[in-house]
Amino acid sequence: MTGTTVIKNALIVNEGDIQLTDVTIEHGLITHIGDTDRGAEHTIDAEGNFLLPGIIDSHVHFREPGLCHKGDIRSESRAAVAGGITSFLEMPNTLPLCLTLEDVQHKNDIAAHSAMANYGFYLGACNKNLDYITSLKPGDTFCVTDDGLYQLGDSLMLSETPEVMDALFSRYRGLIAIHSEDEELIRYNLEVYENTYGAVPFTAHAEIRNFIACYLNTKKAVAVAQRGGANLHLLHITTAAELALLNNQIPLPLKSITAEVCLPHLWFNSNDYQRLGAFIKCNPAIKSSADRNALINAVNNDLIDIISTDHAPHTLEEKEHVYQRCPSGMPMVQHALPAMLELYLDGKIGIEKIVEKMCHNPAVLFGIKNRGYIREGYHADLVLVDINKPWTVAKGNILYKCGWSPFEGQTFSASVTHTFVNGNLAYHNGTFNTFYPGQALQFIKRV
């Protein structure tokens, strides 16, 4: 959209407050917050619907390059925008793995002409590139961040020697994000179930990748990070036990140990394996209803800092394999915000808290410049939602390239009606407007 756009009569959810007022957008930026009578080329009457900052999803797998039969940057960012996600950070486990700044640049080049949302990419770390990673200095990560966005690969965190872990955690001063599970214990558990059942049922997933495997490895990671003075970000926490290792007394910008929970672990519980089986198989596994409730409480009491999706699509054919060959992961970006709003309507999480964990905190933790808030001078990444517009997830409205969702048949009470990306109305009531490519995220050094 060109010219001035005014969103009128919106319930703005921002910085712990809800305010009924107008927002003016010009040249891709929020230029005024407050009642206005000025003329505009485009006026949207929000009619008291909620206006949120665009969601920043800091944990997605969009599969490009190398795995584009599952999804790609264009298809999955399109689904994300329909779900109110305006920025994403994508993981490095593509083919080839993203292990150098040249690999990051290659992904940026792809996204520059295909991403509908704003984008950033993690750099993977493993024993093979440890010296390279630890040689990087603030500023070397030209198109990523001033102080680093680094995904610590499973092979390093979970199977390498303590000496290698100590080296990374003591030598690298950027943010280190880890997938925390004890793979040795998981392999043992799997062998036990194979000997017991032969064909392992999907209902065993939460017992094979159990709370002990999560807790033991997270405890070890926290201890190593604290010993080395590292900035550690724990991806997809899934258990009540791990919450005892977290701290809610230190404000986010000053925290050296931070934690994320993903939407599937706030929505599903282990009882759902009986119904959904392979479709909710993910790593770490979805745990018990008690764990789910503990995670919701941890979001509310700030032990958990960020909510993301861990969007990880696989084809239906791949998901039809037996347990051992069935890949873990599920598509999430289109349905994450509607699901979170359902939790809000059920009285489980306040909408202000949802905005804090899905918009504000990702911007603060990763140092994303001028996004994540509704503030004058910030990029106009905005999502308008109607909490009284129910819809049902069905094959015909699923936008993921893989064509399925574990939410199929679920009726959500709230709908995303408008998504603005850099001031452009990218999505409106089921329709995508002219393709406006997203922008490479700009980063500042975290406080």
- Which residues are CB-contacts of 122 (< 8 A; sequence separation ≥ 6)? 89, 90, 91, 92, 98, 149, 150, 151, 177
Please give the backbone phi and psi of residue 136, each rounded to the nearest 5 degrees, phi first: -70, 140
d(CA 374, CA 370): 9
d(CA 161, CA 287): 28
Neighbour-count burial for 382-421, b at 16+ CB within 10 Å, e otherwise: bbbbbbeeeeebeeeebbbbbebbbbeebebbbbbbbbbb
d(CA 111, CA 212): 39
| E strands present in 239-368 | 257-262, 306-308
d(CA 184, CA 202): 20
Provide the pLDDT for residue 137: 64
Provide the pLDDT for residue 425: 96
Q: What is the pLDDT along the chain (447 residues), one digit of tens a residue?
A: 568 999 999 999 999 999 999 999 999 999 999 988 777 888 999 998 999 999 999 999 999 999 999 999 999 999 999 999 999 999 988 998 888 889 999 999 999 999 999 999 998 877 778 788 878 764 333 222 223 344 443 333 333 456 667 778 888 877 888 888 988 899 999 999 999 888 899 999 999 999 999 999 999 989 989 998 888 999 999 999 999 999 999 998 899 999 999 999 999 999 999 999 999 999 999 999 999 999 999 999 999 999 999 999 999 999 999 999 999 999 999 999 999 999 999 999 999 999 999 999 999 999 999 999 999 999 999 999 999 999 999 999 999 999 999 999 999 999 999 999 999 999 999 999 888 899 999 988 655
| E strands present in 263-364 | 306-308
The model's pTM:
0.94
- For the chain, domains (ranges, CATH) are 55-365 (3.20.20.140)
Residue 299 has a CB neighbour count (10 Å cut-off) of 23
The dihedral over CA atoms of 220, 222, 228, 231, expressed in degrees to the nearest 10, equals 140
Please say whether the beta carbons of 237 and 259 come within 8 A: yes
Provide the pLDDT for residue 172: 80
Please say whether the beta carbons of 413 and 406 come within 8 A: no
d(CA 53, CA 375): 9
Provide the pLDDT for residue 158: 32
User: What does the block give as tokens for 269?
Assistant: 């519980």
d(CA 284, CA 336): 18
